[in-house]
């Protein structure tokens, strides 16, 4: 996009009053168009998919999905500006990753500066450091309780206990859960790092297995094994993966 062009903005906050405040501040600038206001993360993802905003003003503390979880589900080329009333943890994560954020009550001057920087970011096609922020947003040592995946405008919440295994497919992972497979743009190493390591084992370069699903291990040739899951699925088992599995069983 060109800097002088209209900047399309999405406002995401669960408090109506807070949304109205932002909309009023944005209305002062004719180069900005507010596409929609969303009261929660699910709506935000849907609106972002359908309306393709340039910038999302994203509250952090919201019901069901917090701001960081929403960020993971947005297209990385969208410029996100976080908005928070008070969250030391989040603010530290933003400072470390040089991500723009605004504190409530929002100072109109700061808002306009942040939008200016967002224009810059968009012009340079600079993606958000999604992975780093997602990692920094969780207290150290607390493993992920659920994985969020986007299916078009829809968000699926997959609690980790419902996941059978995760498969690497180029830049994506396929999360297999309840007989379905959900694609997500993330590396298998990144998701492995955030999951509970006593529950999810990397049994192969491309496979991360939920230990509860393992039925047995079968030797199919000398030094060549496969893992058989409770539902009969057969997954390759590398030698290193076998060692890791042995250590946990």
In the complex, the residues that contact another protein under the rule CB under 8 A are: 14-18, 20-21, 24, 39-40, 61, 63-64, 85-87, 103-106, 145, 157
Write the CB contacts of 119 (distance below 8 Å, at least 6 apart in sequence). 1, 3, 7
Identity of the residue, 91 or 226, whose beta carbon is nearer to another protein in the bound complex = 91
The angle at the Cα of 71, spanning 29 to 201, to the nearest 5 degrees, equals 170
Identity of the residue, 156 or 244, whose beta carbon is nearer to another protein in the bound complex = 156
In the complex, minimum distance from the CB of residue 79 to another protein, in angstroms, rounded to a whole number: 22
Element spanning 191, H or E = helix 188-194
In the complex, minimum distance from the CB of residue 16 to another protein, in angstroms, rounded to a whole number: 6
In the complex, minimum distance from the CB of residue 87 to another protein, in angstroms, rounded to a whole number: 8
In the complex, minimum distance from the CB of residue 38 to another protein, in angstroms, rounded to a whole number: 11
Identity of the residue, 104 or 244, whose beta carbon is nearer to another protein in the bound complex = 104
In the complex, minimum distance from the CB of residue 157 to another protein, in angstroms, rounded to a whole number: 7
In the complex, minimum distance from the CB of residue 169 to another protein, in angstroms, rounded to a whole number: 28
The 10 Å Cβ neighbour count of residue 194 is 17
Q: Is-contact 164 177, C-beta < 8 A?
A: yes
Task: Report residue 24 CA to chain centroid gap.
Answer: 29
Separation CA 140–CA 138 (nearest Å): 6
In the complex, minimum distance from the CB of residue 151 to another protein, in angstroms, rounded to a whole number: 18
Identity of the residue, 16 or 126, whose beta carbon is nearer to another protein in the bound complex = 16
Element spanning 67, H or E = helix 67-73
Write the CB contacts of 156 (distance below 8 Å, at least 6 apart in sequence). 148, 149, 150, 182
Preceding amide of 105 cis, omega within 30: yes
Identity of the residue, 110 or 244, whose beta carbon is nearer to another protein in the bound complex = 110
In sequence order, the β-bridge partners of residue 73 are: none
Identity of the residue, 84 or 241, whose beta carbon is nearer to another protein in the bound complex = 84
The angle at the Cα of 56, spanning 28 to 140, to the nearest 5 degrees, equals 135
Q: Is-contact 38 67, C-beta < 8 A?
A: no
Identity of the residue, 23 or 244, whose beta carbon is nearer to another protein in the bound complex = 23
């Amino acid at each position: 996009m060109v800097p002088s062009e209209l900047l399309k903005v999405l406002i995401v906050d669960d408090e109506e009053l807070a949304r109205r405040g932002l909309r009023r501040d944005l209305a002062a600038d004719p180069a900005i168009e507010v596409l929609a206001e969303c009261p929660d993360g699910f709506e935000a993802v849907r609106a972002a998919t359908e309306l393709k905003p340039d910038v999302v003003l994203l509250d952090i503390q919201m019901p069901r999905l917090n701001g960081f979880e929403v960020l993971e589900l947005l297209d990385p080329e969208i410029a996100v500006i976080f908005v928070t009333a008070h969250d030391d943890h989040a603010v530290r994560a933003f400072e470390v990753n040089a991500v723009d954020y605004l504190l409530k009550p929002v100072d109109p001057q700061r808002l306009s500066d942040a939008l200016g920087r967002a224009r810059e970011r968009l012009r340079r096609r600079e993606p958000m450091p999604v992975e780093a922020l997602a990692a920094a947003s969780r207290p150290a040592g607390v493993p992920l309780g659920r994985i969020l995946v986007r299916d078009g405008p829809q968000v699926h919440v997959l609690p980790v206990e419902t996941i059978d295994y995760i498969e690497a497919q180029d830049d994506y992972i396929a999360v297999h859960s309840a007989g379905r497979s959900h694609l997500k743009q993330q590396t298998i190493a990144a998701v492995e790092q955030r999951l509970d390591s006593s529950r999810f084992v990397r049994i192969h370069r491309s496979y991360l297995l939920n230990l509860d699903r393992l039925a047995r291990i079968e030797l199919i040739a000398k030094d060549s094994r496969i893992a058989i899951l409770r539902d009969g699925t057969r997954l390759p088992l590398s030698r290193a993966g076998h060692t890791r599995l042995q250590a946990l069983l």
